[in-house]
Amino acid sequence: MFLASLGTDSLLELTCIFKKKIQNTSSHEGQLRYLTYTLENAVLNLPQGQDKMVWLIDFTGWTLAHRSPFKTSRETMNTVQNHYPERLSAAFMFNPPKIFEASFKVLKVLIDPKSAQKLNFVYKENEESMKTMYNHIDPEVLPVEFGGKNSVVYNHEDYSKLMTRDDIKTASFWGADGNHAMNGHSVPEVKSQLSLTVAKAS
């Protein structure tokens, strides 16, 4: 799901929601391609004047059976850090099981220390951790399942339509007359399709 919400600096931030439990591919290359596709669409949908985004990674229902291979996790970290530096404002790992926290200690050595400081473990029953998330995602637009007040639910058909629009937008952007820029500069006249009604699965 792409959500637009007021951040800590009272400017709009883009929030990307990833639902780990419903990830439906075990292909290493496929997962990396989808990650890049998702991040490119997120960048394209950033509010004017903004260059950072918030990630909400939902681990509800996640088990070791959903775990990605270490190679895929490592390449995911490399892709984010080497090709999308400083795009991340904050990341919230929602309701991760204890086993994931143990695994994360191993993965953390692959993360740039500056980026690692932006990662937060959030538990729905832990009021303090939820307050930290609310500093970045307005409860009014945050879905109820994550402790917010928005009754939005994931609808794959609606999401697919939005992604089709974004594909057209991307093609228009790269097919323009060479004046490629983002976030309020020289970009083709295509309005942002930020959605408050569909959720993104990955």
For 15-57, write each residue's pLDDT tens digit: 888 887 666 666 888 888 888 888 888 888 887 888 889 999 9
d(C-alpha 2, C-alpha 148), whole Å: 15
Residue 2 banded pLDDT, cuts 50, 70, 90 = low
Fold classification of 2-164 is: Phosphatidylinositol Transfer Protein Sec14p (3.40.525)
Alpha carbons 31 and 24: distance in angstroms, whole number: 9
- Give the span between the Cα atoms of 195 and 197, in whole angstroms: 5
User: What are the pLDDT digits (tens) for 157-193?
Assistant: 887 888 888 888 778 777 754 454 544 444 333 333 4
Domain-by-domain residue ranges, the chain?
A: 2-164
Task: Report DSSP state, residue 84.
Answer: S
Q: What is the pTM of this model?
A: 0.73
